[in-house]
């Protein structure tokens, strides 16, 4: 798999899911450097149009050991909302214990562009 162009974030597997790694693509997409987001939660990229029900449903799935995906509105550090397709998978240790979650975000347009014209991709 080649994730060179994908935004990657790795979090702890236990709530509150603190950020342990982001790649350069994630930093460009979300506006935060690695140092700015280390040990923070993903709430730093969430805002008023981020669907909390979808987030809760995803957390139930990953807590049950199920990989999941969804389309969300997140926010750049400067406040600009954007759509992204998020896939969450597990990272396991040699004993098959889930140790981290990896999120792969794919930019899917600016929120206001889609909202104003009614287009949903």
Tens-digit pLDDT profile for residues 41-79: 999 999 999 999 999 999 899 888 899 999 999 999 999
- Kindly state which CATH superfamily the domain 7-117 is placed in: PAS domain (3.30.450.20)
In the predicted structure, residue 112 carries a pLDDT above the cut 70: no
Report the DSSP pairing between strands 68-75 and 19-22. Answer: unpaired
pTM assigned to the model: 0.86
Please name the residues in contact with 55: beta carbons below 8 A apart, sequence gap of 6 or more.
Answer: 46, 72
Omega before 16 cis (within 30°)? yes
Cβ atoms of 1 and 82 closer than 8 Å: no
DSSP-H helix ranges across the chain: 24-30, 34-37, 52-63, 111-117
């Amino acid at each position: 798999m080649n994730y060179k162009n994908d935004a990657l974030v790795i979090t702890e597997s236990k709530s509150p899911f603190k950020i342990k790694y982001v790649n350069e693509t994630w930093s460009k997409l979300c506006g935060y450097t690695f140092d700015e987001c280390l040990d923070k939660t993903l709430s730093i990229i969430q805002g008023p149009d981020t669907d909390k029900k979808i987030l809760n449903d995803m957390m139930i799935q990953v807590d049950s050991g199920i990989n999941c995906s969804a389309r969300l509105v997140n926010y750049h550090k400067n406040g600009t909302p954007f759509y992204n397709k998020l896939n969450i998978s597990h990272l396991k240790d040699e004993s098959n214990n889930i140790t981290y979650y990896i999120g792969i975000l794919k930019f899917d347009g600016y929120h206001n562009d889609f909202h104003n014209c009614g287009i949903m991709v």
